[in-house]
Amino acid sequence: MDLFFSKNIKKEKQILSLDESKHCLLSLRKKINDKIWLTEGDGVLYSADICSIKNKKIEYNNLQIISKKINSPKIHIAIAPTKNKSRFEWFLEKATEIGVDEISPLICKNSERKIINETRCVKILIAAMKQAQNSILPKLNKPIVFADFFKKRKKNIYIAHCYDTEKINFKNILFNKKKKKENITILIGPEGDFTTSEIMLSEKMGGTSINLSDNRLRTETAAILASSIAKTIL
Amino acid sequence: MDLFFSKNIKKEKQILSLDESKHCLLSLRKKINDKIWLTEGDGVLYSADICSIKNKKIEYNNLQIISKKINSPKIHIAIAPTKNKSRFEWFLEKATEIGVDEISPLICKNSERKIINETRCVKILIAAMKQAQNSILPKLNKPIVFADFFKKRKKNIYIAHCYDTEKINFKNILFNKKKKKENITILIGPEGDFTTSEIMLSEKMGGTSINLSDNRLRTETAAILASSIAKTIL
């Protein structure tokens, strides 16, 4: 199954973008009358036929809905971008493959990186979605300062940190969760960890301090393990 | 806690290797009388004091056992090395952080890479173990041809593949496993997947075909997700 991304499948003019058309024609050597699969990244998977190629762009017809996918519950990872860009990009790829729904780059006191290249990050997410034959593209939010994060979100927030305070094992929390279908948010700190005031703020706002492993995990590993644990149990 | 690796902690002469001494003195700026932590990677964690520096090598004394860790059950990942070396190396790092016990590079019919740089791989494992403050170093076996793999191992073998045959969801198998303390082995194929004859051979030898996700996962993602699922449930 060769999956392509389009922002405007439901629009009247059924045309693939130049990038997607290139991938389809040059890398995968598709031709007129070949079948392709399409998604807007919203969980809906379509099939269509290539009917013509104009100005290097593919036009398609016979659009049909093949399936609709909804992740329930949804997993939102709020993560401090790593100092080393490629580690954050690895996280984006793996999170898409595993099936994370939403990603918020989190700007913390100890963050060494406070900006991300959004265009590049979205490209990585789309490539991973296509490769994984997943019809859900994680929503990438704008970077947000730690304290502001709690202005909108109040419920089912878990904060993973390395301080030796009272923490609950994340998998035990999820195993004991009565309403397993509630969406959850997991906060993952930067290389220097959250500060104690950030943890106190999170707890004041209803966040729960969690422990993911006996080992000290890198930022991107913690995020992928937390996503995997949630996917396994919920 | 600054953890160092030594092959010979129990030997009479208590000296760190040149590499480990460099890391300790130059990167972490440790001095005589400073406390360090040591492991052979067998789960035993020691503390010791730096007592002298000779020929750029650290000598230590006051060796004491701090803790002994045993992973139970043990997780063994047999994985086809990826075409792109860095993806395999990423797997080695993450597997160590998550707590995998044994890794076998698997040579399959569709493998595009049939050799690994063992010295480099062990270096990555040791660095990840130290970083994760984990006292268990995964055992890295020699690359083994798929068919030979089954000559030694017969029990609790799970093979993850993308064919549309009868497969059981991996997490459901583990949730229903009565004897949860049995060690398990998970086989992860190369970019082009296992061949049907490899899957048939595995099933003939008692292996169980499993499904890890609705998405099509890259080799290294499948291995990390499988390890995370096993760590979560067992």
ipTM for the complex shown: 0.94
How far apart CA A100 and CA A183 sit, in angstroms, is 11
A18 and A121: one domain? no
Residue-wise pLDDT for A60-94, tens only, equals: 999 999 999 999 899 999 999 999 999 999 999 99
Of B24, B39, B68, which residue constitutes the final position of a domain? Answer: B68
Asked if A88 and A220 count as a contact pair (C-beta separation under 8 A), the reply is yes
Q: Identify the CATH number of the domain in which residue A40 sits.
A: 2.40.240.20
* Residue B200, strand partner residues: none
| Closest CB from A171, A224, A232 relative to B224 | A224
Hey, is the C-beta of B67 within 8 angstroms of any chain A C-beta? no
Asked if A137 and A96 count as a contact pair (C-beta separation under 8 A), the reply is yes
Are the Cβ atoms of A229 and B228 closer than 8 angstroms?
yes
Is residue A152 over pLDDT 90? no
Residue-number span of the structural domain to which A51 is assigned: 3-68
Are the Cβ atoms of A133 and B94 closer than 8 angstroms?
no
Of A12, A36, A68, which residue constitutes the final position of a domain? Answer: A68
A120 and A228: one domain? yes
What is the three-class DSSP state of A51? strand
* pLDDT recorded at residue A144: 97
Name every residue whose Cβ is closer than 8 Å to that of residue A200 and which is 6 or more positions away in sequence.
none
B37 and B145: one domain? no
| Closest CB from B90, B134, B232 relative to A229 | B232
Q: Identify the CATH number of the domain in which residue B170 sits.
A: 3.40.1280.10
B49 and B160: one domain? no
Are the Cβ atoms of A213 and B98 closer than 8 angstroms?
yes
Are the Cβ atoms of B217 and A69 closer than 8 angstroms?
no
For A96-146, give the DSSP string.
HHHT--EEEEEE-TT-S-----HHHHHHHHHHHHHHTT-SBPPEEPPPEEH
Of B46, B68, B90, which residue constitutes the final position of a domain? Answer: B68
B101 and B20: one domain? no
A91 and A14: one domain? no
> A152: distance to nearest CA of chain B, Å?
30
| Closest CB from A131, A214, A232 relative to B232 | A232
* pLDDT recorded at residue A154: 77
Are the Cβ atoms of B213 and A131 closer than 8 angstroms?
no
Element at A229 (helix H, strand E): helix A219-233
Hey, is the C-beta of A164 within 8 angstroms of any chain B C-beta? no
Hey, is the C-beta of B69 within 8 angstroms of any chain A C-beta? yes
Structure tokens, B71: 């992973």
B79 and B13: one domain? no
Residuewise pLDDT in 10s, chain B (234 residues): 889 999 888 777 799 999 999 999 999 999 999 999 999 999 999 999 999 999 999 999 999 999 999 998 999 999 999 999 999 999 999 999 999 999 999 999 999 999 999 999 999 999 999 999 999 999 999 999 999 999 887 789 999 999 998 899 999 999 988 667 899 999 999 999 999 999 999 999 999 999 999 999 999 999 999 999 999 999
A50 and A82: one domain? no
How far apart CA A153 and CA A147 sit, in angstroms, is 11
Are the Cβ atoms of B215 and A90 closer than 8 angstroms?
no
B86 and B23: one domain? no
B146 and B89: one domain? yes
Q: What 8-state DSSP symbol labels residue B24? A: I
Angle at A60 between CA A54 and CA A65, to 5 degrees: 160
Long-range Cβ contacts of A115-123 (<8 Å, 24+ apart): A115/A81, A115/A143, A116/A81, A116/A88, A116/A143, A118/A142, A120/A89, A121/A89, A121/A92
| Closest CB from B98, B224, B229 relative to A232 | B229
In A, minimum Cα distance to B132 occurs at A216
Domain count, chain A: 2
* pLDDT recorded at residue B161: 97
B10 and B116: one domain? no
Are the Cβ atoms of B215 and A69 closer than 8 angstroms?
no
B167 and B95: one domain? yes
Q: What 8-state DSSP symbol labels residue A2? A: -
* pLDDT recorded at residue B154: 77
**% of residues, chain A, pLDDT over 70:** 99
How far apart CA A59 and CA A91 sit, in angstroms, is 34
Q: Average pLDDT in the A192-218 region?
A: 95
* CB contacts, 8 Å: A66 with chain B: none
* pLDDT recorded at residue B132: 97
> Could you give phi then psi for residue B106, rounded to 5 degrees?
-110, 125
SS3 assignment for B133-181: CCCECCEECCCEEHHHHHHHCCCCEEEECCCCCCCEEHHHHHHHCCCCC
Q: How many CB pairs under 8 A join A and B?
A: 76
The one-letter amino acid code at B216 reads R
Question: In a 10 Å sphere around its CB, with 0-12 CB exposed, 13-18 middle and 19+ buried, how is residue B83 labelled?
Answer: middle
Are the Cβ atoms of A214 and B69 closer than 8 angstroms?
yes
Q: What 8-state DSSP symbol labels residue A45? A: E
Peptide bond preceding B143 in cis form (omega within 30 of 0): no
* pLDDT recorded at residue A18: 93
